[in-house]
A and B are shown apart, each in its own frame.
Chain A
Amino acid sequence: KQEVTQIPAALSVPEGENLVLNCSFTDSAIYNLQWFRQDPGKGLTSLLLIQSSQREQTSGRLNASLDKSSGRSTLYIAASQPGDSATYLCAVGPYNFNKFYFGSGTKLNVKP
């Protein structure tokens, strides 16, 4: 069974810092990986989706990389802002009907 781990569980940084969130998974036979953002009491908002054939995806200040062989993905946030404060979740999708396995998330706090 796929196990997804996110480290650290919580992170607090001053505004303007560049930061990296980590996601690791135990089974490298994945089809894709998706990063989500979750604000308190809200649903999940998709940030980036990386197919297994891709190495990275970029959207604005966000860059996600994928290394299937080592079972790792990173989410890089450039020039962090207080509005980036949220919980970030990664989810990996194996080769069957898009069923995703989630990590427990990294709770990010960006201080003004």
Chain B
Amino acid sequence: EAGVAQSPRYKIIEKRQSVAFWCNPISGHATLYWYQQILGQGPKLLIQFQNNGVVDDSQLPKDRFSAERLKGVDSTLKIQPAKLEDSAVYLCASSLARLGYGYTFGSGTRLTVV
């Protein structure tokens, strides 16, 4: 089966600019997650979707971050405006919407804000 696809792989932007990341989950996976991983730390959940709906966005900085999942498949994560501390790897993962199943991660997008 095809894995979780993410693009772009790398992005360098100046602070106060905007940026968007794209994720295509594994076919049939109803649950999609966006994680932020700062260098040297474990991934931190930003937002979790179940089909089209948001299950958990409690740690999403909503003043600058937004995410959507169109038709319960692809998802985009946007940052506007970016800050220096947003420099991180942004990981997308998907899972079957059933307890007991693990995650499959994409390769991530490395964002550098200068």
Residue of B nearest to A100 (CB): B103
B107 touches A105 (CB 8 A): no
Residue of A nearest to B93 (CB): A44
Residue of A nearest to B35 (CB): A102
Report the interface size for chain A: residues with CB under 8 A from the other chain. Answer: 25
Residue B43 interfacial (CB < 8 Å): yes
Q: Which of A13-21, A61-69, A70-78, A89-97 contacts B (4 or more CB under 8 A)?
A: A89-97
A102 touches B43 (CB 8 A): yes
A98 touches B42 (CB 8 A): no
For A60, list chain B residues within 8 Å (CB).
none
B43 touches A44 (CB 8 A): yes
The listed residue with most B CB atoms (<10 A of its CB), out of A44, A49, A93, A99, is A44
Contacts A43-B91, A97-B55 given; does A103 touch B103 at CB 8 Å: no
- Please report the C-alpha to C-alpha distance between residue A89 and residue B44 in the assembled complex, in whole angstroms: 12
Contacts A43-B108, A89-B42, A104-B42 given; does A49 touch B99 at CB 8 Å: no
For A80, list chain B residues within 8 Å (CB).
none
For A98, list chain B residues within 8 Å (CB).
31, 95, 97-99, 101-103
- Please report the C-alpha to C-alpha distance between residue A49 and residue B102 in the assembled complex, in whole angstroms: 7
- Please report the C-alpha to C-alpha distance between residue A42 and residue B6 in the assembled complex, in whole angstroms: 11
| A10-41 interface code vs B (CB 8 A; 1 in, 0 out) | 00000000000000000000011010100001
Contacts A43-B108, A46-B103 given; does A104 touch B55 at CB 8 Å: no
Interface, chain B (partner A; CB < 8 A) = 4, 6, 31, 40-45, 48, 50, 55-56, 89, 91, 93, 95, 97-108, 110
Interface, chain A (partner B; CB < 8 A) = 4, 31-32, 34, 36, 41-46, 49, 51, 89, 91, 93, 95, 97-100, 102-105
A-B contact pairs, 8 of them (CB 8 A): A31-B100, A43-B91, A44-B43, A49-B102, A89-B42, A91-B42, A98-B97, A98-B98
